[in-house]
Each structure stands twice: as C-alpha cells, then as structure tokens.
Amino acid sequence: MNISGTKVVVNKSQKETFKFLSDLKNFEQLMPISIHKFEVDGDSFIFGLKGMPEIRLVLKESTEFSNITLGAASSKLSFELVANIDEIDEASSKVQLDFNGEFNMMMAMMVKKPLTNFIETLTDNLEKL
C-alpha cells in the first residue's frame, strides 16, 4: 500500500529542512493534535494517537539534504515513511511524504483512511514551518 502526500513548499532551505527532519524531536511539531505520547530514544521515536496503537519509527537511512526514511521498529508491520526534499531556492524547499507499507487486504482497508489523514496532517504542519 502506497500513500503519497501532497508536495508542499517549506520556507526553509533544503539543508535546513533536512536538518529539521533529521532531528527526530522535531516530528512532535508535525504530529496531529490528538497525540497523547511522543518520546525520542536515540535514532527512533514512539508516538501514540488517541484510538490508535503506539508506533515506533526508526531512522532507517538518509541521503544528505534530499531524503530521510523512517521505518517501523516492529517486524509485525512492515512500512516506511519517506520524506523527499527538493531544493527550490536558497530559502525554500519542496517536500513530499510517502508512506509505503506491506499489509494484507483487510488491514489495508482498515488503515488507509487514517494513514492518509495522518500523512495529510504531517504535510500541512510541514508547510506551516
């Protein structure tokens, strides 16, 4: 299952945006208002939203200034959250968040709408930076 967020303009250079997203503590600023838990632990963070199970994301890989890939810490659910960062000019960049997950058909049907809303919220909050 793939969900691509809208490409948004962030009023930060590509380098600043990359550094912002590389610091996992900053993801708390992007989370929905329904968040009830957010804890960073080294190269991972765990978050909980009301009515959803807690999820731990681990920094899997990054390509300097252009890409950050977070993945599920649990082997029970295999998915990635990928941030692609493109330079527009010295003061702005374009970011697109992509969710890629391997779910069975039933699970995909249950999580598609909440995940789409989650990606949209992260994207909207990125655009406001």
Q: What is the pLDDT of residues 97-109, one digit of tens each?
A: 999 999 889 988 9
Using DSSP's 3-state secondary structure scheme, residue 95 falls into strand
Read off the pLDDT band of 66 (50, 70, 90). Answer: very high
Gap between the Cα atoms of 92 and 94, Å rounded: 7
Q: What is the pTM of this model?
A: 0.91
Judge whether residue 111 has pLDDT over 80. yes
13 near 25, Cβ under 8 Å?
no
Identify the three-state secondary structure at position 29: helix
Tell me phi and psi for residue 41, to 5 degrees: -140, 95
Provide the 8-state DSSP code for 98: E
What is the total count of domains within the chain? 1
- In this predicted structure, the answer to whether residue 75 has a pLDDT above a threshold of 80 is no
Structural domain for 73, as ranges? 2-128
DSSP state of 24: G
Specify the CATH number for the domain of residue 19: 3.30.530.20
